[in-house]
Amino acid sequence: MNAEFKKGIRHGIPIALGYLSVSFAFGMKAVGDGLTWLQAVLISATNLTSAGQIAALPLMIGGASLYEMALTQLTINLRYGLMGLSLGRKLDGSMGTVQRLIFSFADTDEIFAVASSQPGKVGKRYLYGLMLTPFLGWTLGTLLGGVAGTVMPAFVRSALGIAIYGMFLAIILPPAREKKPIRAVVALSVALSLCFHFIPGLNQISSGFVIIICAVAAASVGAILFPVEEEGQA
């Protein structure tokens, strides 16, 4: 086996372990919400994105329009666009158009973070290894959660329900602690989200649109008040 490929696989293991626990919770939640385990696995295998998948569940169950689904996914996953722009400059000559088309499928927050933190340029063998283990972890975790989630005792299920949110907090809080603009954006977005949840009238709006409105408003205010100096810097 190629050394670069092996290195990618090795670097993907911690990501895969994190994904395993979070996707377990996703699989369990999806089946609890009325999907079959196979449907949950199909979502994970074709999307590979935690926040987008979690947001999709109430839309599916509630029979939302495909338009709302598309717009929700677009907003939630818009960050991948920025990451792609940034990562594009780090790819070496082995990453032609075909390789880019393949790697694009797995450009998640964590894979992006690990790839970006490598010294110098990264090539296809390393990136293929780096996408393989997390993909397996994400899909396998969903399968296990979807199948075993329903037979687990209620107290275990409710304890696991918080896993995904724990991961979200682990993503947003360290940069929020370091950077005031991010702190302000998160605080504003959370405040808006609470308004949409508790204020009569506003709480009639469906979950996908609430996320879109809160995120676009908070990020716009952040961009106006705290314009970034360089691409990717906050």
Touching other proteins, residues 22-81 (CB under 8 A): 22, 34-36, 39, 42-43, 46-49, 51-56, 59-61, 63, 66, 69-70, 73-81
Segment lying near other proteins (by CB under 8 A), choices 4-12, 114-122, 142-150, 214-222:
214-222
- What's the closest the beta carbon of residue 155 comes to other proteins, in angstroms? 5
- What's the closest the beta carbon of residue 1 comes to other proteins, in angstroms? 26
- What's the closest the beta carbon of residue 212 comes to other proteins, in angstroms? 9
Instruction: Kindly state the tokens that stand for 168.
Output: 């979200």
What's the burial of 231, exposed, middle or buried (CB within 10 Å: 0-12/13-18/19+)? Answer: exposed
Instruction: Please say whether the dihedral angle defined by the alpha carbons of residues 82, 136, 66 and 149, taken in this order, is positive or negative.
Output: negative
- What's the closest the beta carbon of residue 3 comes to other proteins, in angstroms? 25
143 binds other proteins (CB under 8 A): no
186 binds other proteins (CB under 8 A): yes
Distance CA 97, CA 110 (A): 22
Distance CA 68, CA 89 (A): 33
Supply the DSSP symbol for 91.
B
